A and B are shown apart, each in its own frame.
Chain A
Amino acid sequence: MVRPKRTEVVCPSCGHRQMEYVEANSTFCHACGHRIPLTVKQYRKGSSSAKTSSVKRQSIRCFHCSHEMQIPTASDSWQCPRCSEYLDFKTHEISVSTGRLLLTYGNITINTRGYLGGSRAEAENITLAGGSASARLVARKELIVNQTCKLSGGFRTRDFVIKPGATAEAQKFVQCRNATIEGIAKFQEMFVSEHLEIVQGGALYVEHLVVSSVTVQQGGQLRASFAHCSETPPRPAEDEPLGTLAT
């Protein structure tokens, strides 16, 4: 009996290599489940256009079960191999009122008429070009306020920036690692930041301030009903995986 010939196939999504029959038309990647059309020569090993070495990967944790996995950076979405939950990598632009739970490894932009309800929203970067959010916002890298906005659910991020002319109001707990206030910030609860800088024209009005270091330039304003400054740094946001950031 003659055994059918097999050849090595490279997954275009995750770069996994596996053996498949030469005459097969398509298969699924054993590692990530991605469908591989074998009629396209570029996926077979030895082809000049094989993309195995060029696949850039990033390490992420699942929002839901904290499973750590390696995925290609170019992916728009993924499925957690442990809990099978859908993982989003898209960039979302909120221009209307929406109340869904928004968890993405991409970015979120809230426009002037946008409203983000729900319990929480997590993203790599969050930009507020106006609008409002009652969901608790968690931005792994940056939360930037470009226009006047209301953040009634509070937020947590690594770098927080209010651009000149913008006003941000938050009714709940706010936490960041570095804060640069160029506009006006009004926080009704606690504001925790490792480093706070208020530049000329910027103002921060807060009920309870907890910081490690503060710089208020001439022409900047800071009013805190109670301030606690000490070397003990607040818990940094960036040290924790995105998918497991607690609200």
Chain B
Amino acid sequence: MKWGKKINRWVGRNIFKISPLLGGKLTYRGDFYFSDHGSVEATIYGNVASESFIELKEGSRIEGNVRAQGLNTEGSIHGAVSASESVSLSKNANIQGDLKAGSLELHKGADFEGRLEVGIEQKQQQT
């Protein structure tokens, strides 16, 4: 198993300067935890969690649950997704599983199937 904690190829962009990257178009097995912004360009068989945002690049795939502050995906996820803030599904993104989020942006061309709960927990906590 490889942890891709390294200065990644997007050095020019601030958001990715210190972010860990699971890349190389490899396949990883096991659960992963990002303490910062996470960027995935690989296939992962396992759960993925982050205290911050996770970005799934095009062609990436997660076979497991995803929990993060926010999620921006162009890849596919087979499992439950839970995000306290925003979730964005770009064109060609695919999620098969339940989705919980604070806000949602699902662009035309994205596929989703499952139970959808957006803004529900957040509102209940406020009240």
Contact = CB atoms under 8 A, between A and B. Distances in A.
| A, B assembled together | yes
A221 B119 contact: yes
Contact of B117 (A195, A217, A223): A223
A83 interface: no
Contact of A228 (B109, B112, B119): B112
Interface in A203-236: 203, 209, 211-231
Contact of A227 (B102, B109, B115, B119): B115
Contacts of A228: 112-113
B119 A222 contact: yes
Contacts of B103: 216-218, 220
Chain B's interface size range is 20 to 34
B111 interface: yes
Contacts of B104: 214-216, 222
Nearest to B112: A229
Interface string B5-39: 00000000000000000000000000000000000
Contacts of B116: 209, 222-224, 227
Interface on chain A toward B: helix, strand, loop, or mixed SS? strand
Contacts of B119: 203, 216, 218-222
Nearest to A211: B106
A41 to B, nearest CB: 59
Contacts of A215: 104-106
Contacts of A221: 118-120, 123
A14 B98 CA distance: 58
Contact of A226 (B102, B108, B115): B115
Interface in B60-84: none
A213 B123 contact: no
A230 B91 CA distance: 10
Interface in B85-127: 86, 89, 99, 101-120, 123
A70 B75 CA distance: 51
Contact of A220 (B110, B112, B118): B118
A223 B108 contact: no
19 contacts: A198-B118, A213-B107, A216-B101, A216-B118, A218-B86, A218-B103, A218-B119, A221-B118, A221-B119, A221-B123, A223-B120, A224-B115, A224-B116, A227-B112, A227-B114, A227-B115, A229-B110, A230-B111, A231-B111
Interface of A: 195, 198, 203, 209, 211-231
Given A218-B103, A222-B104, A229-B110, 5 more contacts: A213-B108, A215-B104, A221-B118, A223-B118, A229-B106
